[in-house]
Chains A and B, each alone.
Chain A
């Protein structure tokens, strides 16, 4: 009660920190997804390449037995999960809070057909979807930390899970690239002297990155699917 009353006398600094934290966690997750995608894409160059990369993540080169420590993957997933939860908790503040707000938003998006507003709507939908899809993926990996081409192919091909991964891929890549673009315009990064021109360039870059990551993502997913069929 005391602190609530204090806020009426002097604005709390917390909203500033929360805004920064939302951007910060988004940046970490967005860039992590790029690295993640490059690691995954090693499967395009064959099973052996993927196993080599996965082995490096488990620090196989450091263990005398050559088995590595899958627990490292558990730690990494736990770290990503923590950032994921914080980001989700902060981002949910921006969602429409009730039916009236949602109705206004829908009507506004439809009426304006404005690029950046449409992109935010996509972020809102994909973000909501990832509460479930992202959590499922993190739990699956954390409880089965051993990563190799057979295990990963089994995850994609076994139990008809490929539609889940296809959906997750689209959500992650759209949400991530739009989010990184928004961070730039939000904080004024890479804007230079001509903000309008820079924003156009950032939009193009965002578009290109979305297409690139979705294409290579599906390529990798197909590769896993094919490996899974051979098992």
Chain B
């Protein structure tokens, strides 16, 4: 007979800003741990068996979409990639990601933030000669090492963990944040993007940009995709300092 799993106590911050008079409060739920259980599975069980009104986001369940990011026992992470077995005492506290507009309970609107961020850094290839492209000619080849490097930075899933982990961003709302620096570094690397360093300086060359970063490296330490934030921000900082 299969041995019954241990009891988990999951505390969730419940608050629906849409409901008039609702106030934020922590609510505890007890569930039985199953083998290989993730926070995402646990949340589904709570919604199924305890309270169908608990709000949280998810799409892919495999760490690809970045929707289920939340604060798990004090630090930001993806619910679908965090095993409950990681917490030896069986006590798990879940909070919504700070730094984003709260939709309700654990669900936040990171989409609007990411859209604004992408517009701010103009996260697309800039080439004034793009209209003159001859489609009958072969594209210029890209060095495989450069392609590999771009791909590495392209892995960002815009989950928002770096934003919530950053004390600078939490204190200063206008600060761009690591996700923006990562995206910008990706375009700065891309030979198809014809923007110059001074063009990039216009986007991140101030205290809301790379010179506002205090190098606390929450972004580096809590990025679920292990992106090289520290290296990229240092690279951008040096690059932007050298702009005449």
Contact among A18, A113, A117 for B211, CB-based, below 8 A: A18
Q: Is B206 in contact with A199, judged by CB distance below 8 angstroms?
A: no
Contact string, B209-244, partner A, CB cutoff 8 A, digits 1/0?
101011111100110000010110011011011011
Please report A residues at the B interface, Cβ cutoff 8 Å.
10-13, 15-16, 18-20, 93-94, 96, 101, 104-105, 108-109, 111-117, 120, 182, 185-188, 191, 195, 199
Please report B residues at the A interface, Cβ cutoff 8 Å.
71, 74-75, 95, 98, 165, 167, 170-172, 201-202, 205-207, 209, 211, 213-218, 221-222, 228, 230-231, 234-235, 237-238, 240-241, 243-244
Q: Is B207 in contact with A93, judged by CB distance below 8 angstroms?
A: yes
Q: Is B217 in contact with A16, judged by CB distance below 8 angstroms?
A: no
Distance A12 CA – B234 CA, assembled complex (angstroms):
20
Q: Is B211 in contact with A116, judged by CB distance below 8 angstroms?
A: no
Distance A113 CA – B216 CA, assembled complex (angstroms):
12
What residues of B have a CB within 8 angstroms of the CB of A187 in the complex? 234, 237-238
Q: Is B171 in contact with A96, judged by CB distance below 8 angstroms?
A: yes
Q: Is B243 in contact with A13, judged by CB distance below 8 angstroms?
A: yes
Residue of B nearest to A17 (CB): B241
What residues of B have a CB within 8 angstroms of the CB of A191 in the complex? 230-231, 234
Q: Is B241 in contact with A16, judged by CB distance below 8 angstroms?
A: yes
**Nearest CB on A from B24, distance (A):** 13
Distance A112 CA – B207 CA, assembled complex (angstroms):
24
Distance A188 CA – B230 CA, assembled complex (angstroms):
8
Could you list 29 A-B pairs, sorted by A, with CB under 8 Å? A10-B202, A11-B201, A11-B202, A13-B205, A13-B244, A15-B206, A15-B211, A16-B211, A19-B211, A19-B237, A101-B171, A101-B172, A108-B98, A108-B167, A108-B170, A111-B71, A111-B95, A114-B216, A116-B215, A116-B216, A116-B218, A120-B214, A186-B234, A186-B237, A188-B234, A191-B231, A191-B234, A195-B231, A199-B217
Contact among B171, B209, B231 for A104, CB-based, below 8 A: B171
Q: Is A113 in contact with B74, judged by CB distance below 8 angstroms?
A: yes
Contact among A15, A16, A94, A199 for B230, CB-based, below 8 A: A199
